[in-house]
Amino acid sequence: MRKIIHIDMDAFFASVEQRDNPELRGKPVAVGGSKARGVVAAASYEARKYGVHSALASKIAAQRCPHLIFVKSRFDVYSAVSRQIREIFHSYTDLVEPLSLDEAYLDVTENKIGMPSASIIAREIKQRILEETRLTASAGVSYNKFLAKIASDMNKPDGFTLITPDMAEDLVAGLEIEKFHGIGKVTAAKMRSMGILTGGDMKRFSEQELVRHFGKVGRYYYRIARAQDERQVQPHRIRKSIGSERTFDADLTEEPDMLERLQYLSEEVAQDMARLQASAKTVTLKIKYFDFTLNTRSKTYLSEFNSASAIYTIARELLHTPNLPAYPVRLLGISVSSLTYQHDKLQEGYQLTLEL
C-alpha cells in the first residue's frame, strides 16, 4: 500500500504578503487586481470570510468587502519561497509532483530518512516549512492521491488529516460532490440534476452509466466513488496547456461584454502561468453559442508570452477572426499551449517574452 502526502500552502500568496508586511496581518487582503478592474489571484482567510476568493472579479470582491486591501502580486517572491519549500520536500523523497507553486504530492512509501510513518513525515514537513518560511501549510495523508488531496482540504488552515483504508469508503460516501477534486461547477450541477449529491449517490451508478453521461472521465468518477485512485506521483509531469472558461447565466450578444469576460479570463490564465512558471506561444479562443455549437480559433507566435495583456490582445484579435460571433454566446474560454517552463529556460540560458 502506498503512502501519499498532499501538501497545500495556506492562502499562499496572501500569506506571503502578510508575512512580509506586518501592517497587513489580521486584515482582509487580496493579491492581484484593484478595486476598478482585474481578478483576484489569492485572498487571505480574513477576506474569505466575506466571500472573496481567487478568480473572483475585483469589482465584486470590493463590493463584498469594502475594506479589502488590494496588493500587487510578486511572483518572483512566491517562486523563491516555493523553491525553499520544494527543497524541504526533496529532503524526504524525490517522488514529488508539484501542481503549482503552492501545492504538491509526495510519495513517501520509500523515503530518504527510512521513516515508516507518513504521518510523522507530514508533520515534520509542516514544522520545517513553518520554521524556514514562517508560513503554514495543510497536509493530507492517505494511500492514494485522491484521498490525500481530500484530506489536506479538510482542516485548513494549518491542518493535518489522515485518511486510513478502513475509513475511506464511508468518508467518500458522505462527501458532497462539490468537494471532489476534479469535479467542477458545471459537472457538479449536471450530477445534482441526476440525483448525485454525494459520493454515496455516485457509487450507485455503474461504470457504463457514468461513461455514458460524462465520457471517459466517467471511469475516473466510478473509481473515486469507491475511494480508488491508481494514479502515480509523477515528478516530471508536464502540462501541455493552461486554460480557463466561463459559462454565463445570460448569453452574451454585445462586444463590450465579451471583451470584459476575455479580460478576466486572460488574467486568470496569466496567473496560472505565473504559478507554473510557464510561457506560451499559442492562444486558443473557445466560443460556445446558445445552441451549444462550438467554435475554436487559434493563433501561434514565434516568440513566447506570459502576460495577461499579451493573452488578452491575442484573444481579442481572435474574437474578430474572421468576424465577431454572429449568435448569442453561452461560453467563452481561453487556453494557451506550446508551453515552455522557467526551469527549462534557465538550463538553456534564455528567456523570451512577447509583450503586446
Distance CA 270, CA 333 (A): 13
Q: What does the radius of gyration of the chain's CA atoms come to, in whole angstroms?
A: 21
Cβ contact 184:55 at 8 Å: no
Name the 3-class secondary structure at 304: strand
Given 17, 97, 103, 304, the catalytic residue: 103
Distance CA 58, CA 41 (A): 10
- Interhelix angle 308-319/255-276, rounded to 10 degrees, is 140
178 catalytic? Reply is no
Give the helix/strand (H/E) hosting 289. strand 278-289
Q: Confirm whether residue 102 is marked as ligand binding.
A: yes
- What's the angle, vertex CA 131, arms to CA 129 and CA 135, rounded to 5? 55
Cβ contact 40:28 at 8 Å: no
Distance CA 59, CA 54 (A): 13
With b meaning 16 or more CB within 10 Å and e meaning fewer, what string describes 230-251? Answer: eeebebeeeeeebbbbbeeeee
Phi-psi region of 79 (alpha: psi -120 to 50; beta: other; left: phi over 0): alpha
Distance CA 228, CA 144 (A): 7
Q: Which residues are catalytically annotated?
A: 103
Q: Which residues make up each annotated binding site for Mg(2+)?
A: 8, 102
